[in-house]
Amino acid sequence: MQFQDELAGGIVLIRPALQSPDYVAGASGWSIKVDGSAEFNNITIRGSGTADPLVVGPAGMPQVIVRTTPTNGLVVFPTNRPIEQDAATLNSAVVDQGAANERAELQMNGPTVTGATGGVRVVLRSQPQDGSLPAEFSVQSRAGAPFFVVDETEVRVVERRIDSRQLAATSNVIGGYVAGDTSYRVRILASGEIRWGPGGAGPEDVRLYRDAANVLATDDILRVYRTLTTDNAFSVRLSGDTSSRVFVNGDGGHHWGPGTGGSDVSLTRSAAGVLTVAGSLEVTGTVTSAAMQSGTVVITPTVADQWTANVPVTFTTPFASAPAVVLTCTVNGPGVGTTTELEWCATSVTASGFNARIRRGNLTATTLTWVAVIT
């Protein structure tokens, strides 16, 4: 029986479209058109399906686009907003195709908006065929400049600041181990303190920390190794100085200067057991030394014009050997024009002390100041 209004001639659709009675474009029903396009309300595909490109999403709304080329696969996630300059994409590609360093990359590019210059890209890269580079994970600008890279050997942050916000000042910001260690060899705390330790046994035993405003402190030994005796180990300058006002060299010599030129005063070890000052030394306080002591002794004569009995003086700390003792009268010496004689001397000098005597023409109490020095 022949139909009056045929849909197909054999296996060929001869009508413009085959559609359901309730078909409304973009709204309901389904349609299969003679040009090969089709529209369905819901669809289930069993087995495999192929589409390139594949556009997901209704017309007039943000649509996800999936497409491929011989060397890359691309997924585009647009927002269809006027401010969007570049859509977000997921791109799997072959880089440097045919070259010895050919490699595969998976790139996730964040979107950019009109008027903004910043954009970010996350890249997972395989090792090139020639092994010239390690496999890596990196965060880059959309232009491809990396600023955070992690590979098999290191983590690199390129021209960027690292901020770590912790809940407590004692929380770790960063720590370092060596394989097999049971504790840190170095770590930085949120307080800014840096600690070092052996790694293999026990906690850190050296630390550097902020002790007060503008004060950096350590509880441990700070050791500086230099190559030459003239190399600076420590120096201080004021803002604007062209040279150090004080510095310590590798030989232990201390040197001082005006800050605008070389040093003009030095304190150095010139020989075994010898400390030498180059320049003038002014002392405004008390000088104490194991090789020098000083003091006073008051002697009151009992007979005029005769030497008094010995007045013993004991050194505060015994010397290693008997020193040289010098006496001078500092209180109640003869006045100008006085004819009364006054003499003094030190006798029986030992490492522990000496005896002092005076002879004067009256019975006035006399104060002698003494200095004992190992010569």
pLDDT digits (tens, 9 = 90+) for 187-216: 999 999 999 999 987 789 999 999 999 999
Say if residue 1's pLDDT is above 70: no
Instruction: Give the global pTM.
Output: 0.59
Q: What's the mean pLDDT in 334-346?
A: 87
Say if residue 8's pLDDT is above 60: no
- When pLDDT is cut at 50, 70 and 90, the band that residue 371 belongs to is very high
31-33, strands of its sheet edge to edge: 17-19, 31-33, 38-39
What is the CATH classification number for the domain harbouring 368?
2.60.40.2080
Q: What's the mean pLDDT in 152-169?
A: 91
Say if residue 270's pLDDT is above 80: yes
For residues 214 and 252, membership in a common domain is answered with no
Q: What is residue 202's predicted lDDT score, i.e. its pLDDT?
A: 76
For residues 153 and 68, membership in a common domain is answered with yes
Q: Give percent of the chain above pLDDT 70.
A: 96
pLDDT digits (tens, 9 = 90+) for 138-153: 999 988 899 999 998 8
Q: Are 193 and 206 in contact (CB under 8 A)?
A: no
Q: Is residue 127 part of a domain?
A: yes
For residues 28 and 111, membership in a common domain is answered with no
Q: 295 to each of 311, 329, 367, how far by Cα in Å?
A: 14, 12, 10
Residue 284 backbone phi and psi in degrees, to 5: -105, -5
Cα–Cα distance between 285 and 27 in angstroms, integer? Answer: 102
For residues 343 and 369, membership in a common domain is answered with yes
Angle at the Cα of 72 from the Cα atoms of 67 and 73, rounded to 5 degrees: 35
Cα–Cα distance between 192 and 169 in angstroms, integer? Answer: 8
Q: What is the average pLDDT value for the chain, to the nearest integer?
A: 89
- Which element (helix H / strand E) includes 298? strand 292-299
Q: Which residue, 269, 227, 270, is CA-closest to 252?
A: 269
Q: Is residue 35 part of a domain?
A: yes
Count how many domains the chain has: 5
Q: Is residue 267 part of a domain?
A: yes
The boundaries of the domain holding residue 323 are 292-373
Higher pLDDT, 230 or 63: 230
For residues 339 and 297, membership in a common domain is answered with yes
Q: Is residue 130 part of a domain?
A: yes
Q: Are 323 and 349 in contact (CB under 8 A)?
A: yes
Three-state DSSP state, 266: strand
